[in-house]
């Protein structure tokens, strides 16, 4: 038995958390460089503001209805998410963090103690009381059904924010109401192909012959059919899978024309990527650097370039990757262009002490050097985790005039002592 817990309007809810004066105010959260709407409060949704719409298209609507906009505050959202997930982990036998605002719970052993609906309400009340975040809970015998149950809990307020689909009759009633496009894993392309076969609702997909679906689609879609019938085919993943690659990239707040500014940007992205790599407890051997002008601008001369390099041995040392990235940037850089975006990618990961060293490399000296480098990088990570950007490489720059626009950024209420709200 699974439960899917999903935070309601998560980014917007985090922005309202420390602003009780905004309880009924429509709020939107903007993407990088404050370009598009990526999250909306229920009041903003009621005004018809769509997800992903460019801000300039709805600026007049926002002004007319007093909609308040915030730049994305990733530090705040990540910290609130961690608190929510920690609370959920203490409530259930097993937890799979699915995204920053969603988690699957293993409800094994819960039902003999209390009804699943009552347990779902306990989850809602606990998260609301301890974190101030509203959540909805979907409960079923498979992950796919739990997803649909959660969708129903969000869609129909009469459910009280909890829907339990353990009853077969309730399952089929809900599946008949939902279009096939609402099923987890069924995208636009699959929806079109299924509709050509006369499958328009989730119930029609559930009633389809699994063998026929596998023959005409794939084993993944067949698995979805079985999940819709209450057969659990997807296990709870309590240990997150190791990433295959790490990408650090941003569009610039203003175009870059000077190479020194690009050096700062690439250095910043390398630092972030290597920090994430060490957090994953991995080493990387492959580095890619890319930069480009805007593909949407008629004024900028188009230019896009990518180069990669493979290290002799995997590493997580920021200093090594910075040196290699600068070599790649020298080969990529061309004067006369207005660069809009750049980034780096780390790939080909190894667990510590797994890679076979070079036959002619002195093992003792190599081990001693890597151990010293590891301690230095750990110290940097520890200091920066306590106080953001306490120590950094000079090549990252101090002012970073190219940094993305975040003109409406809220304070880091929970991760910075200087930004703690004052109570008078």
CATH number, residue 172: 3.30.70.270
The mean pLDDT value for 234-248 works out to 78
Predicted local confidence at residue 369, as pLDDT: 56
The mean pLDDT value for 13-21 works out to 93
96 and 139 part of one domain: yes
Predicted local confidence at residue 345, as pLDDT: 94
* 323 inside domain: yes
* 189 inside domain: yes
- The residue out of 17, 47, 73 marking a domain boundary is 73
224 and 81 part of one domain: yes
- The residue out of 228, 258, 273 marking a domain boundary is 228
Is residue 241 predicted with pLDDT exceeding 70? no
83 and 168 part of one domain: yes
CA 136 to chain centre: 19
Model confidence at 34, pLDDT cuts 50, 70, 90, reads confident
Domain count, the chain: 3
Predicted local confidence at residue 359, as pLDDT: 67
* CATH number of the domain bearing residue 65: 3.40.1170.60
- pLDDT, tens digit (0-9, with 9 covering 90-100), for 257-290: 999 999 999 999 999 999 999 988 889 999 999 9
The mean pLDDT value for 305-324 works out to 91
42 and 92 part of one domain: no
* 344 inside domain: yes
Picking from 185, 212, 219, 184, the residue whose alpha carbon sits closest to that of residue 198 is 212
- The residue out of 164, 195, 228 marking a domain boundary is 228
Average predicted confidence (pLDDT) for the chain: 89
Predicted local confidence at residue 30, as pLDDT: 93
pTM reported for the whole predicted model:
0.79
Predicted local confidence at residue 398, as pLDDT: 79
**In angstroms, rounded to a whole number, what is the distance separating the alpha carbons of residues 87 and 215?**
43
Bridge partner list, 121: none
For residue 228, CA distances in Å to 106, 139, 145, 180, 387 come to 18, 13, 6, 11, 47
For residue 198, CA distances in Å to 45, 184, 244 come to 32, 19, 38
* CATH number of the domain bearing residue 320: 3.30.1490.100
The mean pLDDT value for 40-60 works out to 93
189 and 331 part of one domain: no
Burial of 51 (0-12, 13-18, 19+ CB in 10 A): exposed
**In angstroms, rounded to a whole number, what is the distance separating the alpha carbons of residues 136 and 6?**
6
Is residue 367 predicted with pLDDT exceeding 70? no
For residue 109, CA distances in Å to 2, 94, 105, 114 come to 11, 11, 12, 10
* 106 inside domain: yes
* 406 inside domain: no
Is residue 365 predicted with pLDDT exceeding 50? no
State percent of the chain over pLDDT 90.
65
Is residue 366 predicted with pLDDT exceeding 80? no
Structure letter (DSSP) for residue 224: H
Burial of 230 (0-12, 13-18, 19+ CB in 10 A): middle
48 and 114 part of one domain: no
**In angstroms, rounded to a whole number, what is the distance separating the alpha carbons of residues 4 and 7?**
10
81 and 133 part of one domain: yes
Model confidence at 351, pLDDT cuts 50, 70, 90, reads confident
Bridge partner list, 292: 304, 341
332 and 374 part of one domain: yes
In this structure, are residues 273 and 250 in contact, taking their beta carbons and an 8 Å threshold? no
* 239 inside domain: no
82 and 58 part of one domain: no
* 415 inside domain: no
209 and 102 part of one domain: yes
Domain that residue 64 falls in: 9-73
224 and 342 part of one domain: no
- pLDDT, tens digit (0-9, with 9 covering 90-100), for 136-166: 999 999 999 999 999 999 999 999 999 999 9
Predicted local confidence at residue 357, as pLDDT: 66
Neighbours of 170 (CB within 10 A): 15
**In angstroms, rounded to a whole number, what is the distance separating the alpha carbons of residues 268 and 406?**
17
Structure letter (DSSP) for residue 298: S
Predicted local confidence at residue 419, as pLDDT: 81
263 and 391 part of one domain: yes
Predicted local confidence at residue 346, as pLDDT: 93
Model confidence at 305, pLDDT cuts 50, 70, 90, reads very high
* 201 inside domain: yes
Label residues 356-370 b or e (16+ Cβ within 10 Å = b). eeeeeeeeeeeeeeb
- Going 387 to 344 to 331 to 324, the CA torsion angle's sign is positive
Predicted local confidence at residue 96, as pLDDT: 93
């Amino acid at each position: 038995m699974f439960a899917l817990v999903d935070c309601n309007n998560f980014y917007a809810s985090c922005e309202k958390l420390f602003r009780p004066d905004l309880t009924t105010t429509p709020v939107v959260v903007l993407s990088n460089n404050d370009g598009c709407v990526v999250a909306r409060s229920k009041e903003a949704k009621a005004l018809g503001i769509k997800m992903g719409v460019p801000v300039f298209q709805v600026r007049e609507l926002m002004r007319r209805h007093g909609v308040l906009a915030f730049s994305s505050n990733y530090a705040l959202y990540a910290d609130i998410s961690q608190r929510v997930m920690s609370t959920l982990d203490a409530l259930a036998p097993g937890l799979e963090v699915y995204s920053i605002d969603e988690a699957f719970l293993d409800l094994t052993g819960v039902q003999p103690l209390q009804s699943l609906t009552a347990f779902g309400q306990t989850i809602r009340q606990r998260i609301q009381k301890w974190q101030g975040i509203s959540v909805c809970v979907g409960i079923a015998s498979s992950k796919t059904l739990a997803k649909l149950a959660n969708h129903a809990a969000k869609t129909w307020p009469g459910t009280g924010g909890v829907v339990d689909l353990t009853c077969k009759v309730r399952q089929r009633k809900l599946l008949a109401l939902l279009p096939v496009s609402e099923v987890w894993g069924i995208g636009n392309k699959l929806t079109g192909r299924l509709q050509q076969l006369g499958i328009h609702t989730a119930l029609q997909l559930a009633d389809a012959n699994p063998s026929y679906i596998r023959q005409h689609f794939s084993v993944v879609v067949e698995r979805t059919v079985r999940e819709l019938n209450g057969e659990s085919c997807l296990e709870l993943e309590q240990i997150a899978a190791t990433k295959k690659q790490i990408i650090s990239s941003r569009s610039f707040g203003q175009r870059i024309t000077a190479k020194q500014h690009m050096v700062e940007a690439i250095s910043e992205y390398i630092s972030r990527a290597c920090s994430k790599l060490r957090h994953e407890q991995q080493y990387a051997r492959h580095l890619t650097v890319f930069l480009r002008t805007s593909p949407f601008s008629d004024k900028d001369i188009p230019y896009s370039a990518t180069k990669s390099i493979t290290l002799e041995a995997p590493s997580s040392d920021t200093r090594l990757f910075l040196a290699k990235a600068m070599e790649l940037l020298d080969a990529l850089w061309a004067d006369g262009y207005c660069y809009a975006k750049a980034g780096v990618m780390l790939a080909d990961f190894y667990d510590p002490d797994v890679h076979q060293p070079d036959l002619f490399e002195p093992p003792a000296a190599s081990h001693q050097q890597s151990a010293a480098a590891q301690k230095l990088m750990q110290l940097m990570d520890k200091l920066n985790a306590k106080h953001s950007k306490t120590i950094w490489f000079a090549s990252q720059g101090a002012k970073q005039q190219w940094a993305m626009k975040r003109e409406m950024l809220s304070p880091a209420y929970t991760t910075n002592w200087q930004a703690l709200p004052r109570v008078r």
